[in-house]
Structure 1
Amino acid sequence: MSLGQQLAPHLPFLRRYSRALTGSQEQGDLYVRATLEAIVAAPTEFPRDIDPRLGLYRMFQGIWNSANYDVADEPSAGGAEGQEAVAQARLARMTPLSRQALLLTAMEGFTPEDAAFLIEVDTSEVERLVAEALAEIEKQTRARVLIIEDEPIIAMDIETIVRDLGHDVTGVAVTRDEALALALEDRPGLVLADIQLADDSSGIDAVKDILAEFEVPVIFITAFPERLLTGERPEPTFLITKPFQRSTVKAAISQALFFDESTVPAEA
């Protein structure tokens, strides 16, 4: 089996991780493309003595950490002041190492040992970084969350997780039309949306309806993530795979809010 065939099944999930790190489908997919270009340019540098998925993420982390890689939509500027502004812009949007450790373990399912290998720290440091990220989440801004989910048990589970994290739930919609009505009635600061809804309508269409009215961060929930992580069309920036773990939902919500500036500060 060729290296490309070995890596292909893991690319959708690398896109998920990269999008979560950057808070953007466009920027996230650019980092993935840069990773693939680096592998094609120097295939002998790909680590062959480890699992292909681990090697792929390790190559990605090298691109992510490289100060020489500029995403395509980076603001252009000349002179020393312009270069400093570019550097500050990059640092401002950089996901901290603690959040990288949390996303790698909670969302991508790597063991602490594998996460340590990927971000080049000791395993004990990964555990400390994850604890640091979780502590940051406790201090994070509070959001008003709209849940779009037609399975009652799953909706209740999500609602419980959301409330336990200190967020408010504005409502639970089971159809496209109901989702838009609830969003307009009580504007949310975050939307959690299933893909397939009760009346055979689409959660994607429901979200499009909402985004046509106002901007809001969205996390999609699906049993078939690879269908929404192709990199070939407008796709979700944040995505949770069914069946999900509580820690995965927590990590996704915190990272979506990490890039959003419209949420209400948590009470002291």
Structure 2
Amino acid sequence: MNAFNQTELLRALPYARRFARAVTGERDSGDALVARVLGAELPALPPRLALYAAIAAAAPAPAAPSGLPQVQRQLLLLTALEDLSLADAGRVLGLTAEAATAAVEAARTALRAVTATDILVIEDEPIIALDLKRLVEACGHRVVGMASSEAEAVRQAAARKPGLILADINLGRGGDGSTAVAKIQQAIDVPVIFVTAYPERLLTAEGLEPAFVISKPFEPLALAIATYQAVHGGRAPII
């Protein structure tokens, strides 16, 4: 039996679900991975780290080789998306400090060479929208549309068929980003990253939840690795 009490595990569970979804690239498979590790023995680490370690160990290997080895992808997700120190991320993955440092440096270099995709940005704040555009273009992607309202987002998605959507939730008078995404996904199958100041609205275990959530303010590296995982999801890049 795991030594953690229920309160400790429940407190760590939203983080574990976010990590698992990012590792697998999908909401449902990520949640299934969390359910599986909760029924098994967890390693002797603090609760949150223990869940991360169990998820990392149980995550299926990519069906085909992708641009980043699995340990490098997991290390970037832990440090950039989950905001762990490199030392704690190394503990989760069973790496020495030296190995973790070498792996994360190699991973950051490799991110610059990933396959590009077309991105639609849904954001009502012009400065934030331009910042997102600049950052994803620095990662090698193409921004094919920038929408500030729900209706505009749906129109642009239908016209431009993006390979990835970056969306805020609160679009002010322009509506709701999650509603826009739901309408878009009725017509096209496209991965979505929510970049929001309200992540708790998307991690409630109620209703339809996304696979990728980044909290504002965000680090550029967090956006880069989330974009990589959303596009490839552990699969081989399309060339």
Q: TM-score, normalised by structure 2?
A: 0.88
Provide the residue aligned with 1:218 in structure 2: 192
Give, in angstroms, the shift of residue 263 of structure 1: 7.8
Whether the aligned pair in 2 keeps the contact of 1:13 and 1:229 (CA below 8 Å) is no
Q: TM-score, normalised by structure 1?
A: 0.79
Which residue of 53, 65, 70 corresponds with 1:58?
53
Please give the alpha-carbon distance, in whole angstroms, between the structure 1 residues aligned to 2:235 and 2:122. 22
Whether the aligned pair in 2 keeps the contact of 1:54 and 1:118 (CA below 8 Å) is yes
Which residue of 108, 130, 144 corresponds with 2:118?
144
Matched to 2:138, the amino acid is: D
Please give the alpha-carbon distance, in whole angstroms, between the structure 2 residues aligned to 1:167 and 1:178. 21
Which deviates more, 112-121 or 128-137?
128-137
The 5 Å alignment of 1:227-246 reads 227-246=201-220
Give, in angstroms, the shift of residue 260 of structure 1: 8.6
Which residue of 73, 92, 109 corresponds with 2:63?
92
Larger radius of gyration: 1
The 5 Å alignment of 1:4-153 reads 4-38=6-40, 47=44, 50-64=45-59, 91-92=62-63, 96-153=70-127
1:231-258 deviations in Å (ceiling 9; x for gaps): 4432101111111111111111111112
Give, in angstroms, the shift of residue 7 of structure 1: 2.4
Please give the alpha-carbon distance, in whole angstroms, between the structure 1 residues aligned to 2:111 and 2:32. 27
SS at 1:38's partner residue?
A: coil
- Is the alpha carbon distance of 1:259 and 1:61 closer, same or farther for their aligned partners in structure 2, counting shifts above 3 Å? closer
Larger RCO (CA within 8 A; separation ≥ 6) = 2
Whether the aligned pair in 2 keeps the contact of 1:57 and 1:118 (CA below 8 Å) is yes
Matched to 1:35, the amino acid is: V
Please give the alpha-carbon distance, in whole angstroms, between the structure 1 residues aligned to 2:33 and 2:236. 26
Provide the residue aligned with 1:209 in structure 2: 183
Matched to 2:54, the amino acid is: M
Please give the alpha-carbon distance, in whole angstroms, between the structure 1 residues aligned to 2:228 and 2:58. 24
Whether the aligned pair in 1 keeps the contact of 2:56 and 2:74 (CA below 8 Å) is no
Once superposed, what is the RMSD of the aligned Cα atoms? 2.4
Structure 2 stretches lacking a partner, 5+ long: none
Please give the alpha-carbon distance, in whole angstroms, between the structure 1 residues aligned to 2:207 and 2:181. 16
Structure 1 stretches lacking a partner, 5+ long: 40-44, 66-89
1:11-31 deviations in Å (ceiling 9; x for gaps): 111111100111111111111
Provide the residue aligned with 2:165 in structure 1: 191
